[in-house]
Amino acid sequence: MMVEDNFAKIDISLGSNIMRRYEDTVKITNSSFMASLGGALNLWSGITVVIILEFVDWLIRIFLEKTQFMQTVQITNDTKPV
């Protein structure tokens, strides 16, 4: 009994060499991304667009008050008698 007699050889051939490739990609639009981000921020931390706008408005008001105060100080310093 020979060792070669105990092995089987199977040749599998297909009709063509064409391979199909399926690709699954997630496509998200900018508006969909912003909506998802806003929803997540609101859900996790209670941050909404209104709160962000109010915060920016608050910062602008503080900045304007500081610059007005500095201009007032500059004007009063210029008009003091020597």
Which pLDDT value is given to residue 52? 86
Its pTM stands at: 0.40
pLDDT score at 27: 82
Assess contact for 79 and 71: CB atoms under 8 A. Answer: no
Q: Which residues in the chain land under pLDDT 50?
A: 1
Domain ranges of the chain: 49-82
Rounded to whole angstroms, the Cα distance separating 38 from 48 reads: 7
Task: State the alpha helices, DSSP H only, in 1-82.
Answer: 30-45, 49-79
